[in-house]
Structure 1
Amino acid sequence: MRGAQMVAAATFLNLQAYMLAAVFYVVTVIALQLLSSLIEIRVLAKHRSSD
C-alpha cells in the first residue's frame, strides 16, 4: 500500500495506483486461498486414510 501511495503522489494517478494495488491484493489472496485449500485436502486425505 505504501508503494501505491508513493506512485500516486509522484504521478497524480491516484485511482490507477490504488486499483493496481487492489488487483495485486486480490490475486495474492486468491492464490493463498487456493494453496490453503490444497493443503487442507491433503491433510484430510492423509487423516482419513490413517483411520
Structure 2
Amino acid sequence: MEILLLTVFLSLLLAVLFLLLFLRDRRTETHRSMEQESLSPFATEIPVETVRK
C-alpha cells in the first residue's frame, strides 16, 4: 500500500512540474516551435543570388 501512495505522490509531483514549465513557456513573448528554433541559425545568412547565363 505504501508503494501506491508513493507512486501517486510522484505522479502528482511530475504533473505539477509539467504544468509549471508549460505555463512558463507560454508566458514568453516568442511562441516558436522547435522546428523554427532549429532553423534560426540560417536566418542570419545572406542569400546568394543566382547568376543566369
The structure showing larger relative contact order (alpha-carbon pairs under 8 Å, at least 6 residues apart) is 1
Instruction: Report the RMSD for the aligned CA atoms in angstroms.
Output: 1.3
Identity rate, percent: 19
Unaligned runs of 5+ in 1: 1-18
| Higher CA-based Rg | 2
Q: Give the equivalent residue in structure 1 for 2:18.
A: 36
Bigger share in helix: 1
For normalisation by structure 2, the TM-score amounts to 0.54
Unaligned runs of 5+ in 2: 32-53
